[in-house]
A and B are shown apart, each in its own frame.
Chain A
């Protein structure tokens, strides 16, 4: 792999950009791999990357039914934060956030991580108490956050209106090292590094069945034929229920649509990320100048990657109260992704009832921020055959045992 650098850009500029190589090889499936990963989203690719980098397992295929990064990874609004309430969440999300800090250097790929700060607005007294509690929990967990008052909110975000008619801004939970990153680049950077280690990324290859023998996985059937493996990892977000059905078990998951939208590009107006959970809306400004906006999920099971217009309308209406200047903006594009929601709003990183088959899912509306930490933990589980310290609390058995990692109360809109 040729390294990307300022020097490489200069060199290629002088020879009309004829020297760039493909970021990843086009691969055709082999008969057998040590590990097959279903789903080339951020979590599947990061899992493959850390399998190779941390555990030396490189005979790996990543199978993707569409194009890599074309699922939720390429559809999300890229908010990165780790100010969760429960200890297991704070540990894995903070691991992820800290890996984002050095990801561009690690992958030699500019993922444009921008730790511009994330504010979660407190717009009711209940939220003030909740976020003060989270700030205390975070300081015990070693996650740097603070509860700030309305003046500080206004200073950090001058376009905000503090004394809105329904929900005045009473303060915010502020994480200065939270922010955003370029979603496609995260997928592409991992893919390039995986391909460089000799792993096969096979796009347009849909898994249609899981083959097993005596309670142990043997391989998968795909639209490109049968592929055998010793270990199988299912990392397919909204399609988790479908793959679990193939592997013979059920999940505590419902798949629903989550939508996002962007405005026309404007001059820099806001250099922090703002989430307003009471009114169900959040916003950041992209480097292109678009206001990137999202809200709550749609209300019913759905696999179509589209949602209902009234949700978009509700989100925009809510945000206009707090950001009146938005009312003048035209909205340019809207899209949806299918998110995998669990009962306690926390993810699943787990062994499954089928031997040799592992699953990573349930990141729901908020898994982009977790990609490196989740890949790290999932690779460790696959390599060692059992979850390590980051993953152990996220097993499937927690639902039976009543050991929930309840983040639904802590974050109304969990992005």
Chain B
């Protein structure tokens, strides 16, 4: 163990007490004076034109204030995914479109004095539609052209081809092609989307309180949509009941603000679970094809990847998503030549959007499945095969040219298979399966790599401000967007460690677009790496200021003053932070405050290797995870137990993605919209997950830390899929591997290769 006082220890997160006693308020729990309530009407046909809307009966209901819909609300278009001013995107979406494009598209909202009245009025709204032909999958859209006129520019959006490296001499290599698929998936944050919008017609001040990942991005989208000046549009981030990407796009806020502007009163909207599943965002259905040339020794020389991202009814972020899928390929493996092509295709399905890892989990599903097939073909062990193709310490990311620095996927694989007992488990599984019983066992490995910042793909920077109060406590002003995984506490720990003071003497707020410094938002797993670095550097600056202040007060040279154990030492005299703050106030007539800005200039490789041991019940098609190890090259752990818990959560989520979680359409084009039909891992089913870290103090981040939140999901589905295939001696890669799919495979004589 290091001699850090806080870094690497386990500290309960800052608002755990409020959460566990029920006293903490999420957006849906907040009440403002005079507040109205919204209920959203969504459409139940997959494609059509709204011909008329009759609201008389709804308006006649007691407590109903008004109904907003496409014939009385702005027609201005926006992009739900825009997160920075000036971002070049296609704006396809209206708050209430006249042309509805999927079951779940927004049709109208009731504004009422109580939530009950708002809900009761919904069935009284009469909507007449003209139906249009529809398609809920990308293949049909591409082949039939049925949605060619859904938008001005059609429905199919190709990503620019990426070619990296020169095609090497391929003599003596073997060519292999595989495919992999994910069904559409839901984030299922336990807190559905909710927000409150407020507007004061006298001052023109608009305020939105919402659990969102970017107060600044959201503020510009809302202000542009309603033509408000940016300084009168304030967005306050509220406690977030989980996001996983689903609260980085704007579905609830535009509706609530339209109603607040319309009524001049605060308005609250809370999505139902059905709306959270259908009418927010989902992970796109994904199809990938991978073709490689591999040497007999197992080195992959040439890679060709084609992907199709089912964007759903609005393009939103899907073209960027499709492009980004290619960008993580060199974060774990290196190949002399890669060609990537992909397209995003609009369909009459729920809208696709950001999902934890932003396409990286999809990419590695494809790659890891392919590698399992190659290893098998060459008669090699799956872990050995990966070791032949991984990036090494000091390699550069071939896509960006930026150093991967301290990347340790090799250590993850080698130490991981040791700890997991990979070879022993593999042998034991073979022996177990040789008995030809009802149950079959297998092992699988999944690897993956991710980033820690946008750098160098796009600009990445941020700022922090710190102030010392009269009693020596420290106020930190920085635009954090805690998703619930302890960001605020991690920052308290890093700042307290730097300043050598107790954690509870550091107050760290969250993002408020009118108060905290500009920030891009919590995307790209950048918070700890970029903003954490900024906070630590800012705290160092604050230390310099404390030293300079006490030097003045004490009449000594700054070189002779130092900070230790929360005290400022000048010779044999001890001063407190409070002494410094009070001297500054009363004598220097200044506040002790510093501001620090920083532009990210590094992005080391951050990787993980997961190992799964499963048992398949050949009678029911059910898969039980017997053992699981997640090994992460994390640089440095900040808050240990909560990091472990976050990774275990990723494994539970990824296991769901691998085995059960899928949104599929019924015959009327309505996708799965209930937790009755959408199965997350529950407590009895969740695997016991062991988590281990390779800690080797990377550079660039705070205390050597790298990212974890998104990466931790990436290896999970590949590891589980690999283990199932090992058990069944199969090549199943159409995920999730539901009991039905497994039974069908077994019924077909187990032929899948």
A, B: real partners: no
Which chain B residues have a beta carbon within 8 Å of chain A's beta carbons? Answer: none
Which chain A residues have a beta carbon within 8 Å of chain B's beta carbons? Answer: none
